[in-house]
Amino acid sequence: MEQLNLARNKFFGTIPEIVCEISSLKNLSLSYNFFTQVGPKCRNLIKKNILDVRMNCILDLPNQKTPLECANFFMQKHICPNSKSMFRIPCGKNPNQGHTGSRTVGGTSSSFSDILLGT
């Protein structure tokens, strides 16, 4: 895989290092999400202009969303629709665990890496 565009979603949390370990990547866009942290492997890809993390909530990087925009997003209650129509990620470790309606993201929500790894 050389190109991966996951821009303009509502991903948040730490960008998983496993994504930045894909050696064939030449262009990875995670821009316009709500990520808050970046590890050393991903920072290396940013320096090489392979990884685009513009307009996220990563405090120590340039070209990010305003603190107010990030605060407003994280203060919202994140509603997770049923697994057939998920719009906000992460929504939970097991979206099919007997829930038929909406549920909220809580302390046990899955991470972006859980989604990539299918857990």
- Reported as a single tens digit per residue, the pLDDT across 46-88 is 999 999 999 999 999 999 999 999 999 999 986 666 555 444 4
Q: Are residues 69 and 111 in the same domain?
A: no
Least Cα distance to 17 among 116, 88, 89 occurs for 116
Q: Are residues 35 and 53 in the same domain?
A: yes
Range of the domain at 117: 77-119
Give the pLDDT confidence score for residue 77 in this predicted structure.
80
Q: Are residues 108 and 85 in the same domain?
A: yes
The DSSP annotation for 14-74 comes to: EEPHHHHT-TT-SEEE--SSEEEEE-HHHHHHHHTT-EE-TTS--TTSSS---HHHHHHHH
Number of domains in the chain: 2
Model-wide pTM > 0.85: no
Q: Are residues 11 and 59 in the same domain?
A: yes
Distances (CA, A) of 97 to 40, 83, 94: 35, 10, 6
